[in-house]
Chain A
């Protein structure tokens, strides 16, 4: 199974700042990585997949870089609605596996 290691588990930032979240796979997953956003009272939202493709409706301030085993989600100029929990997921093979999550809170 592909283990996904996500860091940090907690991140505090202010609106307008930029943040980065790391996701490392235990073996190469090419560019087959997705990022999801979890917010209370809302369904989980697919943000990015295949390493860099923005899902329809995802603001352009979200981006992903990386391939192989190391990936980084960057959110530029944080908006109030961006404070949430973020998960990475490899979509290269079964079993599907997720990172442990990063909670992004307002500083």
Chain B
């Protein structure tokens, strides 16, 4: 059974940093692109980042480019999201998701972890 479990969320002040983790199990992690997607309170879904199988390629929307960094450790079946220079508008539930191989389809999602950016 595919499982994605996020951790590392919490309350952080504007301008500070936070690192999220996602522990994957139930599939060969190194064979799949992985992504982070977020959902602000009462809002819709926003894609945040994607990383290739080896980690050599990363993709971001303009809203987080230069502030967020996605990375992975295939030996640990783990995905990470380093978030710097956090803003109040980054407040959201962050979901780890698996791409269907290298496609742009997200076939499995985690339960999500809440990040609140506030002073």
Contacts and interface: CB of A to CB of B under 8 A. Distances in A.
A5 B106 CA distance: 19
B44 A87 contact: yes
B59 interface: yes
Contact of A98 (B47, B62, B105): B47
B61 A55 contact: no
A91 B47 contact: no
A11 to B, nearest CB: 16
Contact of B44 (A34, A90, A101): A101
B106 A46 contact: yes
Interface residues of B, number: 23
Q: Is the interface of A mostly helix, strand, loop or mixed?
A: loop
Contact of A94 (B45, B59, B95, B107): B59
Contact of B47 (A32, A96, A99): A96
B79 to A, nearest CB: 15
Contact of A49 (B60, B62, B100, B108): B100
Which 4 A-B pairs rank lowest in CB-CB distance, beginning with the nearest?
A: A91-B104, A96-B47, A44-B109, A95-B61
14 contacts: A43-B4, A44-B95, A44-B106, A46-B105, A55-B107, A87-B44, A89-B106, A92-B104, A94-B50, A95-B59, A96-B50, A97-B47, A98-B46, A101-B44
Interface of A: 1, 32, 34, 36, 43-46, 49-50, 55, 87, 89-101
